[in-house]
Structure 1
Amino acid sequence: MPEFDQSKDQLFTQQRVAGDFVFDENVAAVFDDMINRSVPGYRTIISMIGVMASRYCQEGSVIYDLGCSLGAASFAMAEQVDCNSCSIHAVDNSAAMIARLDKRLRESDGYQIKTQCEDLANIEISNASVVVLNFTLQFVPQASRDALIQMIYTGLNPGGVLIISEKIVFPDPELNELFIDLYYNFKEQMGYSKLEISQKRTALENVLVPETLAQHRQRLTDAGFRALDVWFQCFNFASMVAFK
């Protein structure tokens, strides 16, 4: 994936009035740094999404990166997929994210990635061989998640895959508290202060709603996926792959 300048995430360094987290220009400007310092194993997840896409892409099909942000997964897939007849569609409902992704594509040679600024509820998936939801579903209203997964399943070709990464919660309260504590330790090691961690947690509280792995498995099974499992997990972050 091409290297881009990364501005340091300092959005929550100062005491601020509580408000919901929004993927606006302020967040888009520091998102690369934010996500790499906030999600353990993020670079590995992105790299392996490219590897899996190269295995399961189909000639003449479409690869979707839903909730693409700045296009990390799209770039990884574009580099790995050896399929000239495939097209990659990167979709996000944040105009700031798509504007920055478009700028990156203009500055990078050879990446055939189509972008679209749209809410996922308004798009149609068709002729898909690979669909990626990389830390996206957790921001979708819970009442809309079943319909989104069903729409993705319907639009996937036989043999297609859905790769879904999420922050998760654990049904056991003791384990859940342990992994949350370990995660905050990780963030401190990545340079975030306790104030930053606390303020971002508050901002995300009503925006990012995580679920258990069992809930994800049930939703994917109900949609019709024939096989699925976790291929990566670190603390309370996991990535699954599901096959049609």
Structure 2
Amino acid sequence: MELVFTTFALFLVTIVASYIFYQRIKMAQGEYEDSKDAVRNITFGFSRQVKRMESDLERLERDTLQAKYMANEALANRQDNSDATLAGLEKVKELSDRVDGIEVSIETMKKDLNKLASQPRIIQQTQVDAPIPVQGEDILQGLTDTELEVLKMIVDTGEGTVPEIKEIIEKTREHTARLLKKLYDKGFVDRNTSSMPYRYSIRKEIRDLILEQNETNTVGL
């Protein structure tokens, strides 16, 4: 009777340990997948993101080691059990092997992170066209009313970002971004990429033309 009770108790402990272990594995796997996706999407805030991911990895390692310890302890305590607990032992062993695989993946991911962190961050910039020839107001006549409005706004404010300019011209963010890129590619404005969002400022030659045009219009009135 005592042997039956002991066997049943060990079997019950095996089931509980296996369930706890399996839940930890699911959590660890989910965190690992999230961390792996985050690596692919590293852009702005690179250093902060790397530190956060390293912290997540350390926590994941701790959880994994704890889960593996529970599995190994359950496995060691049940080596002398009867055939009734064999299925539970095999499940624990299977989960333990799975943890080993996760640990290998973690090590690989840490190496990739270290390699990525050691590389200098390079901000790609669009090739700036050669300065456009300044031929009086003829240059401005080729612009749309919206483009000219944006240039005048930048003259007044000194510089502007896509969100700021969007509010003034009452266009969508995508439309405003395309408009500014067009002006940038044609050489009407310069773009500062040292911060986000990018800041656009007008070229001196274009600024002088717009101010001259404004003075002419004022005199005409």
Q: Is the structural similarity TM-score above 0.5? A: no
Greater Rg by CA: 2
Larger helix fraction of residues: 2
Q: Could you say which structure has the greater relative contact order, defined with CA pairs below 8 angstroms and 6 or more residues apart?
A: 1
TM-score bin (small chain): under 0.3
